[in-house]
Amino acid sequence: MSGIRVLDLGEIMQAPVAAQVLGDLGAEVIKVERGVNGDMLRGLDRESLDEGRPSAYFAAVNRNKRSIALNLKTSEGQDILHQLLAEADVLIHSYRTAAVERLGLTYDDLHERYPRLVYGTATGFGETGPYAHKAGQDMLAQALSGMARACGDPSISAYVHPVPTVDYASGMALAQGILAALFERERSGRGQKVSVNLFDTALALQTLESSTLLAYQRETNWVSDWYSGIFETTDGLLLVLGLFRENALGLACKALDIDDLSVQPTFATPQLQAENKEAANAVLRPLVAQLSTAEAAELFDGVDLLCAPLLTLQEALDHPQTRHNGTLVDVEIEGVRTTRLMGNPVTLSRTPAQVHRGVPAVSEHADEILHELGISESDVQTLRNKGVIR
């Protein structure tokens, strides 16, 4: 994507993820931050709040970007932004509808002036409709979409997952849409608007579950509908899944070298094995508990039954497959330190995602960016003294 310029006006995670993906693929990304402190994400993790260190949260989704903190409530700030827009291919923002209207940055405001601009917007619930005015957040989208109620365990009424899966998926979807719009622009010469929201993304993540509900009015999920079990071992936990197997319980019994429970009427079908899994697992658990995780996994693998250890995040980061895949990349944070961070999950054989720039400090590149626009050093200092830039 060399030669593509992206303006990232997004905050927190959803929109910045999309901009980082484009940066990983070679686009030039300028992060336009608000006010003195910049992106709110810079102050949301404990290391930045309590210890004053550079934010690891911010670093996770803001590599391969330059930063300028710009006061868009001033006429000078607006003028600078429009100078940047005149040279940009993509604009990404996460403003709510009222805010973007106040700033004069709606798609209708910009598309005639910048007809080639691909305009990406990331919201919580959509730009119109009854929830358009509400602030969005990953866990709110989980709640409103039904995802938090889809636990797969009838003993748990709801579970809000702390990993911001919806934010990340929505950001990746926005990047996908922007790439499609840029590809189409090669044919038409025109930009277009690309919109995502957390609510739709959370619903889309439940594609299988919603299809069964819509088509047959039946609630379903892969945990409750099939035999499964989480087993304690001598040194950890092992997940065993009966998906894609006609007689999963029979295979589990074979792996542990015990009489086949599936010959009993209680466990005679996949549906009965799912309904009565706790009774079956009560027999299996004492046997698995005598084995290490590796030993148990080897036995279940030996009968082609799906299984995997339940690792901690630290264990997963240290896993040999993680090292083999090159999942983690070295990134410099604010010129202070270099650390390992999660890389781009997409692998391209000829033009791989790369780290070509670290994570910026707030407005680290303001002078450089303004000089590229032809603004003199004395005028830059005037803008800084007036609070237009940091």
Q: Decide if 81 is inside a domain.
A: yes
- Residue 92 pLDDT greater than 90, yes or no: yes
Q: Decide if 355 is inside a domain.
A: no
Q: Decide if 366 is inside a domain.
A: yes
pLDDT in tens, 102-155: 999 999 999 999 999 999 999 999 999 999 999 999 999 999 999 999 876 767
Query: Which of these three, 283, 312, 341, is where a domain ends?
Result: 312
Q: What is the CATH number of the domain that holds 241?
A: 3.30.1540.10
Query: Which of these three, 312, 344, 371, is where a domain ends?
Result: 312
Same domain for 38 and 133? yes
pLDDT in tens, 53-87: 899 999 999 999 999 999 999 999 999 999 999 99
Q: Decide if 269 is inside a domain.
A: yes
Same domain for 183 and 46? yes
pLDDT at position 46:
84
Same domain for 17 and 92? yes
Q: Decide if 325 is inside a domain.
A: no
Same domain for 163 and 232? no
Same domain for 67 and 37? yes
CA distance readout (Å), 67 to 64, 349, 369: 10, 30, 9
Same domain for 104 and 176? yes
pLDDT band at 352 (very low <50, low <70, confident <90, very high): very high
In Å, the largest CA–CA distance within the chain is: 86
- Residue 336 pLDDT greater than 90, yes or no: no
Q: What is the CATH number of the domain that holds 144?
A: 3.40.50.10540
Same domain for 144 and 236? no
Q: Which domain holds residue 270?
A: 228-312
Q: Which residues of 85-114 are buried (b: 16+ CB within 10 A; e: fewer)?
A: beebbbbbbbbbeeebeebebbbeebbeeb
Same domain for 27 and 160? yes
Same domain for 90 and 189? yes
- Residue 22 pLDDT greater than 90, yes or no: yes
> Are the C-beta atoms of residues 361 and 335 closer than 8 Å to each other?
yes
Tally of domains in the chain: 2
> Are the C-beta atoms of residues 34 and 69 closer than 8 Å to each other?
yes
Q: Which residue has the higher pLDDT, 37 or 367?
A: 367
Percent with pLDDT over 90 in the chain? 92
DSSP codes, 287-331: HHTTS-HHHHHHHHHHTT-EEEE---HHHHHT-HHHHHHT-EEEE
Same domain for 302 and 263? yes
Same domain for 13 and 129? yes
pLDDT at position 220:
86
Q: Decide if 342 is inside a domain.
A: no
Same domain for 133 and 187? yes
pLDDT at position 224:
84
Q: Decide if 304 is inside a domain.
A: yes
Query: Which of these three, 282, 312, 342, is where a domain ends?
Result: 312
pLDDT band at 50 (very low <50, low <70, confident <90, very high): confident
CA distance readout (Å), 166 to 59, 122, 139: 19, 12, 8
Q: Decide if 324 is inside a domain.
A: no
pTM of the predicted model, to two decimals?
Answer: 0.95
